[in-house]
Amino acid sequence: MVIYEADVPGVGKRYEVETGDTERFVVIVHHDGKREIFRRDHPDADAEKLFEFPAGVSREIVTALQGVDFQPLDLDDVDMPLGNAIMEWVEIPDDSPLAGETIQAAQLRQKTGATVAAIQREDDTLASPKADTVLQPGDILVVIGTRPEQKSFESLIKTGSTETSN
Amino acid sequence: MAGALLLEVGIALVTLALVGALAHRFRQSVIPGYIAAGILVGPYVPTEIGGISLRLVGNSEFVSTVGELGIILLLFFLGLEFNVGTLVANKTRLAKLGGLDLVLNGIMGVLIGYVFGFGVTGIILITGIVYISSSAIITKSLTDAGWLANPESDVILSTLVVEDIVIAVYLAVVSALVLGGGTFAEATMTVVQAFVFLAALAAVAYLGTDYIERIFDVGPDELFVLRIVGVAVLIGAIALSIGVSEAVAAFFVGTAFSETDLIERIEHLVTPLRDIFAAVFFFSIGLSTDLRVVAGVALLLLVAVILTTGTKLISGYASGRVYGLSTLRSTRVGMGLVARGEFSLIIATLASTSAIPVIRNTVPAFAVGYVLVMSLLGTLLIEYEDTISSVLGISP
């Protein structure tokens, strides 16, 4: 991403951000703290003023954009805090050495310390899977454990070993 | 005695507040309003409407002194925003834009002054008045019209930057000429003196950045503002006492701060002070304006308004083209530069101190009439640009 920054004599500063092929997002920060937000469709277009607000409001907006209070979940990489432990969704790859084994045989908990709380299989959810539940490729395991436990769990599922290579 | 003066100041400020609100309401520049307010309540005609006296404020020493503070702070801010780095980085471009602007409008000013029979000093003063666009009005209009995010504003503001430098040099020379008066030798002496003083100021400004930053970086806002304004006014006053324009001295004081980290704090804290003093400056200009004298220069005024609107439109258009802008945007550059304001009036204040009676009497009146028309015209051109362009058939 490119941000163009320029002094605007007597006014303040202008920042232009390329947001699309030709579209640009323009912010003008006035010396008195006022911010103006413009959008330019393409290089020949006139800037269209979208918003104007004082310094205080723009700080509020920035915290919202930064996600200080709220981060939307990226479902490919979900983690939810549970005290020290976190909950993660781990998919069993097709070539996983553990596919076809039961949870007991795979010794998931013994080797990593993390617990499988549920298994999502196709449209079904198997809550509290038993020791004799067979792991299948494509299963999504809901795993509870600390960060290091999660790490070795993922490694075990992928490689059959808890040794993590960093 | 003090009560009477206080009453005058109160009337002045309240009149300015009312006129300012009115101008704001109709989205017009406040500058012509402030001048008109001064004319209305000042000592000259109209002194009454329907038997009710409008003559509320005499041209008191106090009001014009506060107005002087306005000049000093206006130029101080000009210096503050003066950035040598930006200048050097864009020198070719700025030279082209500024050159077109200076040559076309300057030649027109010289021609008008010559045809109307002014002597050398008169011609120089009139040229300055018609050449220099108003940074204050134009910047405000660009903000209101939302042009700041468009490419034409770059060309307009760059032209203003060049004008600011030209006007600093111009004021230095011309004030020495006007204030020095007398013989050629005396005038030369004053010019030399002026440049020695200004060179010393520039050297301090250029070399002393770190030192200045340390001296002025105090915690409490109150002490900070006092130091900044105190130094600007004191140096301006010293300059004036040795025959150098206080405005130019203030410009150099401003440049001394332009490379420091204090710039944002100054912009934040001193701008309101500048605005109030500048308003009083425009008001005091109105106070000292006799409309009968302005009417006496009506022909000069008419010719100057028409011709110099034309040259600004042309020089602006040409600058836009040089910079590679479209027809529409280049036209906007021309329209954007039409407004004249504070600097023309500063030149007028200078003219009013001239030893030559013709200049002392007519040039300031001309400048006031000219600024009243050009500031309104410039604001209206920007405001109604889309209508004008579509009538003229200029499309993006």
Q: Does B148 contact A36 at a Cβ distance shorter than 8 Å? A: yes
Give residue A36's pLDDT band: very low, low, confident or very high (50, 70, 90): very high
Per-residue pLDDT, A125 = 84
Per-residue pLDDT, A147 = 83
Q: Does A49 contact B146 at a Cβ distance shorter than 8 Å? A: yes
- Name the residue with higher pLDDT: B394 or B271: B271
Q: What is the CA radius of gyration of chain A?
A: 25
Looking at chain A, which residue has its C-alpha nearest residue B148?
Answer: A28
Q: How far is CA B7 from CA B1, B4, B99, B370, in A?
A: 10, 5, 48, 31
Per-residue pLDDT, A71 = 64
Per-residue pLDDT, B238 = 92
Helix axis angle, B2-25 to B30-41, nearest 10°: 140
Mean pLDDT of B381-395: 88
Mean pLDDT of B202-225: 87
Cβ under 8 Å to B: A residues 5-64:
6-11, 14, 26, 28, 30-33, 36, 38, 40, 44-49
Q: Is B299 exposed, middle or buried (0-12, 13-18, 19+ CB in 10 A)?
A: exposed
Per-residue pLDDT, A98 = 86
Q: Does A40 contact B146 at a Cβ distance shorter than 8 Å? A: no
Q: How far is CA B350 from CA A87, B10, B170, B176, B204, in A?
A: 77, 27, 12, 10, 26
Question: What pTM was computed for the model?
Answer: 0.78
Of A82-96, B120-134, B272-286, the range with the lowest mean pLDDT is A82-96
Q: Which residues of A touch B139 (CB under 8 A)?
A: 10-11
Interface A-B, measured as beta-carbon pairs within 8 A, has a size of: 58
Per-residue pLDDT, A82 = 65
Give residue B100's pLDDT band: very low, low, confident or very high (50, 70, 90): very high
Q: How far is CA B217 from CA B210, B223, B255, in A?
A: 11, 10, 16
Q: Which of A8, A37, A48, A49 to substitute to test the interface with B, most B CBs within 10 Å?
A: A8
Cβ under 8 Å to A: B residues 124-143:
135, 139, 142-143
Residue B125: is its pLDDT beyond 70? yes
DSSP states of B16-37: HHHHHHHHHHTT--HHHHHHHH
Residue B150: is its pLDDT beyond 70? yes
Residue B1: is its pLDDT beyond 60? no
pLDDT digits (tens, 9 = 90+) for A54-80: 888 888 888 888 877 766 655 555 555
If you average pLDDT over every residue of chain A, what do you get?
83
Per-residue pLDDT, B133 = 96
Are the C-beta atoms of B159 and B101 separated by less than 8 Å? yes
Q: Which residues of B touch A30 (CB under 8 A)?
A: 143
Q: Does B149 contact A36 at a Cβ distance shorter than 8 Å? A: yes
Mean pLDDT of B292-316: 95
- Taking phi over 0 as left and psi of -120 to 50 as alpha, with beta for the rest, A155 belongs to alpha
Q: State the nearest Cα–Cα gap between A62 and chain B, in angstroms.
A: 21
